[in-house]
Amino acid sequence: MTGTATPAHGAAKPTHVRRRVPVRTPHQAAKTGGGRLGGPLAALPWALPAFAFVGVLLVYPFFRSVYGSFFEDNGFTSSFTGFDNYTRLADDPIFGRSLLNTLMWVAGTLLLPVLAGLLIAVATHRMRCGRIAQLVIVLPFAISGAATAVLWNFMLTSEGAVNQVLRGVGLDGLAQPWLLEWPQNTLSMIVASTWQATGLNVVLFAIGLRAIPRETVEAAELDGASGWRMFRYITLPQLRAVSVVVVGMAIVNSLKAFDMIWILTKGGPSRSSETLALSMYRETFRLFHVGYGSAIALVLSVIVVASSWTYLRRQMPDTSTTAVQS
Amino acid sequence: MGRTVRHVFVAGCVLLWLIPLYLLVVNALTPAAEYAGKPEWTFQGFALLDNLDTAWDVAGIGDSFQSSLLYAVVCGLLAVLVAAMAAFAVVVLPIPRPAFWFWLIYSGTLFPLQMFLAPLFGLYADANLYDTRIGLMLVYTAWAVPFAFFLIRNQLTTMPPELTEAALLDGASFPRIFWRIHVPLMKAGLGAAFIFQFTAVWNDLLLGITLSRSPDVQPVMAALTTLNNAYSSAGPPVILAGALIVSAPTLVLFLVFRGLFLRGVTASAR
């Protein structure tokens, strides 16, 4: 984190690399700072609309939330209570369950969509109908979380399609009200979101696979590597850059998961499948514990920012952007 | 992997992914009156149009569909324009402290929405923007700007600075340089950013249920949620037809502009 937004390879930074402008009279060449560009203030109006939107509707509410989390606020009256909300969080069993569910979402998302995405991408790489298979798996990615949840609600209810299939193949014992008991409800929602989220990972991994230089693969083949050893010692290391991105995105998205849970269980029954994102919403807009809700939001934000740090570091404007070859 | 194993694995995955979609279509086709209380696996007739009609009119998906279309198109365009201008300022023009501006605008994507909701609600209640279309449009635009800014900025940094210099030597003003040089050259990036943000606004549920209530303001995902809450009374065929309706625009966009989508994805995965 150096304080400049210049890429390390200065080639793409016009303001930094001040070339001599070819002019006729030599005494004009001595003028530095690109007199034609006007003063530094000339650029401000271009950034102001974005700044106004983001500043008023995102940055200000953010700080207001931080500030509000130190108050006991029920929507009508508010009084300063310091870190009270946070100590209450620590003692709240619902918060503990919520945190556990959130962690389950993160672990489940890393395990299922990321791993499935990698396997499918590797399996369909250079396959005859691989592109078509990939397209089918990417399709749900274009469907909203809400619509996915509605569809899976239909699959997961007690009389839903999943139980139908289980009974159909004689596994009656396994048929159960998927959404009505913890931990099944959280787990089955993770499966539902896997159906939606895997496609994106397949696409990203496929791009990474195509970027592996042919020479590397051929050299490995000459050395007699194939199958598992090829995957383990050639493919996986070459996919490291993409993996960082996929994992980073998966973590952040699983922490933010809301639509799916809200539609399928509303965080219930009896708040058993709530995640931090849901708890904040319920506390703030259903129970009007505004200050408490803000405290939850802040805890969630800290977790999100901390865990997306790796991902962000690669996205920093001051590191040279190594474009993924597609 | 052995060849056979690999093919079986891929075929199995494709089948697993297709089953929910198949059920969605089959059951959206089932006449609502004949729905027997459990999912159908075979075609039971063709009542798709009736179901779509019921979902559109009776369940009120139609009104929300129009609202959401307005939100997604207007906010997508506005956000891309505002973001492109900001990216232009940060990358091309000699703005003081470009890193500060970058982070200021980009920070909007870092935090979960929950961080903004409660103060936004208060702000909207005070400013009489709660449950108005204009209010939702403002917040959707603000929410769409940061990521669009990020995508466009990435594309701008790949452009040679000689372009700007040559134009300046020819005496072009900033607006002229922006509209005549950068915008035409960034068409693909702007398109990708628009598609991404259109989809994001269209698919939003959380802001919709927080900042709006009445049927004629509510975005489409909120209307679908309301319909889904009437699961037993409305009947699954109608609800699934509703899910089909709300998914149609983004699916079509995705299939038509797959290349742009992929560009956006790869641009964000650097």
Give me B130's structure tokens: 């709660």
Q: Kindly report the backbone phi and psi dihedral angles of residue A80, in degrees, each rounded to the nearest multiple of 5, phi listed first.
A: -70, 130
- Residue A152 in contact with partner chain B when CB distance is under 8 A: yes
**Cβ distance B95 to A43 under 8 Å?**
yes
User: Which one-letter amino acid corresponds to residue B47?
Assistant: A
The per-residue pLDDT for range A220-234, each reduced to its tens digit, is 989 888 788 888 888
Tell me if residue A251 falls in helix, strand or coil. helix
- Residue B89 in contact with partner chain A when CB distance is under 8 A: yes
Question: Contact B205/A146, CB-based, under 8 Å?
Answer: yes
Question: Contact A58/B116, CB-based, under 8 Å?
Answer: yes
CATH of the domain at A265: 1.10.3720.10
A98 inside domain: yes
Question: From CA A81, how far away is CA B248, in angstroms rounded?
Answer: 49
User: How far separated are the first and last CA of chain A, in Å rounded?
Assistant: 28
Give me A232's structure tokens: 């383990």
A9 inside domain: no
Pairs across A and B, CB distance < 8 A: 319
A47 inside domain: no
Residue B55's closest CA among B233, B232, B224?
A: B224
Contacts of A49 in chain B (CB under 8 A): 82, 85-86
Q: b/e map of A239-267 (b: 16 or more CB within 10 Å)? A: beebbebbbbbbbbbbbbbbbbbbbbbbb
A28 inside domain: no
Read off the pTM. 0.85
Query: Rounded mean pLDDT of B136-146?
Result: 95
Report the residue of chain B nearest A52, measured CA to CA. Answer: B142
| Average pLDDT by stretches of 10, chain A with 326 residues | 38 49 44 51 87 93 92 81 89 92 93 93 86 90 91 87 85 82 90 92 91 90 85 88 85 89 88 92 91 93 83 53 36
Question: Contact B157/A13, CB-based, under 8 Å?
Answer: yes
Topology given in CATH for the domain delimited by B54-269: MetI-like fold (1.10.3720)
Residue B88's closest CA among A18, A49, A2?
A: A49
Question: From CA B1, how far away is CA A231, in angstroms rounded?
Answer: 9
Domain residue limits at A220: 79-314
Residue A210's closest CA among A122, A322, A114, A314?
A: A122
A277 inside domain: yes
What is the tally of structural domains in chain A?
1
DSSP B89-148: HHHTS--S-HHHHHHHHHGGGTS-THHHHHHHHHHHHHTT-TT-HHHHHHHHHHHHHHHH
Question: From CA B265, how far away is CA B259, in angstroms rounded?
Answer: 10
Q: Given a cut of 60, is residue B11 above it in pLDDT?
A: yes
Question: From CA A249, how far away is CA A97, in angstroms rounded?
Answer: 24
CA distance A81 to chain B (A): 18
CA distance B57 to chain A (A): 18
Residue ranges, comma separated, of all CATH 1.10.3720.10 domains in chain B are 54-269
Contacts of B169 in chain A (CB under 8 A): 21, 36
> Which residues 245-284 on chain A approach chain B with CB closer than 8 angstroms?
245-246, 249, 255-256, 258-259, 262-263, 276-277, 280-281, 284
A259 inside domain: yes
Question: From CA A186, how far away is CA A271, in angstroms rounded?
Answer: 11
The per-residue pLDDT for range A213-265, each reduced to its tens digit, is 989 888 998 988 878 888 888 888 889 888 888 888 888 889 988 999 999 99
Give me A138's structure tokens: 């990417």
Question: Contact B98/A15, CB-based, under 8 Å?
Answer: yes
